Structure 1
Amino acid sequence: MSNDNAAPSSSSAAANGSADSAAPRRNSKRPKYSKFTQQELPACKPILTPGWVISAFLLVSVIFVPIGVASLFASRDVVEVVDRYETACIPAQNRTNKVAYIQSSANKICVRTLTVPKRMKAPIYIYYELDNFYQNHRRYVKSRNDMQLRSNSSQDDTSNCKPEDLINGTAIVPCGLIAWSLFNDTYSFSRGNESLNVNKKDISWKSDRDHKFGDNVFPKNFQSGGLKGGGSLNESKPRAGGSHCVDENCSSTNFQKVVWEDRGGSQQR
């Protein structure tokens, strides 16, 4: 009985083996061998001996140490005076609620005395800097209309300007949160009894004044709502002025507006 059963089993195994050998083989996805695909091309592999390393560092030092020394001495000649006044210029009784004081009608003139430690060479630049004021928020960045800023014919185009787009159904020019939040602190400088004039003309890029911002765009309905977000603009003066703009027909505040909208919350004058 055992021999009779073994024979069919053996023939069955042979049949299966022949069927497997007759079946087509699957194509391999292995890429064709080449030195390029296997990253075996000849390459320079220098041996970094101590002599080579020391020589390389000495060469870099000879080149860059004099440059670093020159940069250090140049930076020491820069005279910068920084004055933070956001707390000092608010009366002590109002410091617990600074926003209410800023939005009130109280007199906010503040006199600060700056001591310059070294002689400043002309030209002297004046900056204001804002901390914790982030102008990269998506809704804030999109809240403007470039076509309205470029052409007077598009002054009624307030798309993307919400929530500062319309007032009583009339377009705000310039519209948007960026324009609405114009930094509105003003400064005047004096040395003793002598007033120092600050030149605010041409603080924006010429390409912005001539191409990006139109010279026939006049502010309209700006900061006319219940809550003022920042500074005001002279509605009789063009916003950018163009290359032909001179002091008597252009507003320095409008120039600041161009810089504010195009550069963010840091200005140079």
Structure 2
Amino acid sequence: MSSTVGGSGSSEPSGVKKTSKRPKYSKFTQQELPACKPILTPRWVILTFLVAGVVFIPLGVICLFASQGVVEIVYRYDTDCVPPSSRNNMVAYIQGEGDKICNRTLTVTKPMKHPVYVYYQLENFYQNHRRYVKSRNDAQLRSPSEERDVKTCAPEDNVGGEPIVPCGLVAWSLFNDTYSFSRNSQQLPVNKKDISWKSDREHKFGKNVFPKNFQTGAPIGGGTLNISKPVKILQYQFRFFF
């Protein structure tokens, strides 16, 4: 009687080389490159902090003295400049007709060296709202041929079928308070020249783009613009928004 014994083996034909997914050996792939592993002893830690202190403490003292030499006066006038009878509905007073002239006296307790910078601050005004940020068109500000491209400017895109230049909520909410200063009945000049970035003046605003239909529809959002002056000249009024 004869018997046959068969072992379990691979069905692949002989002579076929198996492929391995193991990467080729190198010191880089096996993370065996020479490395510096410093041991932080108490002596090294103390020395490092001493060196950092010697370098940064004098810098901090210099910055502290520089900041203490800055004279800053902050004055909030929105409530004081509204008549007591209209303070229950200040929005109606602000949107009412006529100029609202308010004279306030600021007391300067320390000498102020020139130039003196004037800024304004708005609260509860959120410019990062998506609808507000997208409601503008930079191409319209650069070229007169793009003045009818107002598809991104809703809801302040057109009035009676005619495009608004500049369009959008960003320009519509133009801050329109103006300031003048005097000292001992002597008028102090306010220089508004070159207060915007040079790149904005030369590339962002076109010299042949003039305001059209701006703040002519309801509701009125902010100040008006001189239609005889291009936005390139008026762009200082947009420094806060653009």
TM-score interval, smaller chain: 0.7 to 0.9
Aligned-pair distance for 1:38? 3.6
Alignment of 1:108-127 (within 5 A): 108-127=100-119
TM-score with structure 2 setting the length: 0.87
TM-score, normalised to structure 1's length? Answer: 0.79
Q: What runs of 5+ residues in structure 2 fail to find an aligned partner?
A: 13-17
1:74-89 → structure 2 map (5 Å cutoff): 74-89=66-81
Would you identify which runs of 4 or more consecutive aligned residues in structure 1 move more than 6 Å?
none
Q: Distance in 1 between matches of 2:137 and 2:99?
A: 35
- Alpha-carbon distance, 1:180 to partner: 0.5
Looking at structure 2, the residues matched to 257 and 156 of structure 1 have their Cα atoms a distance apart, in angstroms, of 23
The aligned runs of 1:2-41 (5 Å cut-off) are: 18-19=7-8, 21-22=9-10, 29-32=21-24, 34-41=26-33
Gaps (5+ residues) in structure 1? 1-10, 242-253, 263-269
Quote the residue 1:134 is aligned against. Answer: 126
Computed over aligned residues only, the root mean square deviation of the Cα atoms, in angstroms, reads 2.3
Structure with the largest fraction of helix: 1
Distance 2:30 2:85 in 1: 76
Kept in 1, the 8 Å contact 2:174–2:238? The answer is: no
- The structure with more radius of gyration: 1
Q: Distance in 1 between matches of 2:29 and 2:91?
A: 66
Aligned pairs (5 A) from 1:154-233: 154-233=146-225
Q: Residues 186, 32 of structure 1: CA spacing in aligned structure 2 closer, same or farther, 3 A cutoff?
A: same
**The 10-residue stretch of structure 1 (134-143 or 98-107) with the greater mean CA deviation from structure 2:** 98-107
CA contact (8 A) 1:209 1:215 kept: no
Q: Give 1:27 shift.
A: 7.0
* 2:240 matches 1:260: yes
2:63 corresponds, among 68, 71, 87, to: 71
Any idea what SS the aligned residue of 1:260 has?
A: coil
- How big is each residue's C-alpha offset from its partner over 1:55-84, in whole Å with a ceiling of 9 and x where there is no partner? 111111111111111111011111110011
- The number of equivalent residue pairs is 235
- 2:53 partner SS: helix
1:214 Cα offset (Å): 0.5
Distance in 1 between residues matched to 2:166 and 2:207, nearest whole Å? 13
Deviations 1:32-65 (A, max 9, x none): 5544234332211112112111111111111111
Is the aligned partner of 1:238 residue 2:226? no
Q: Which digits, 9 at most, give the CA deviation of each residue in 1:160-182, with x for residues without a partner? A: 11111111111111111111110
2-structure distance, mates of 1:260, 1:240: 15
Q: Does 1:55 align with 2:35?
A: no
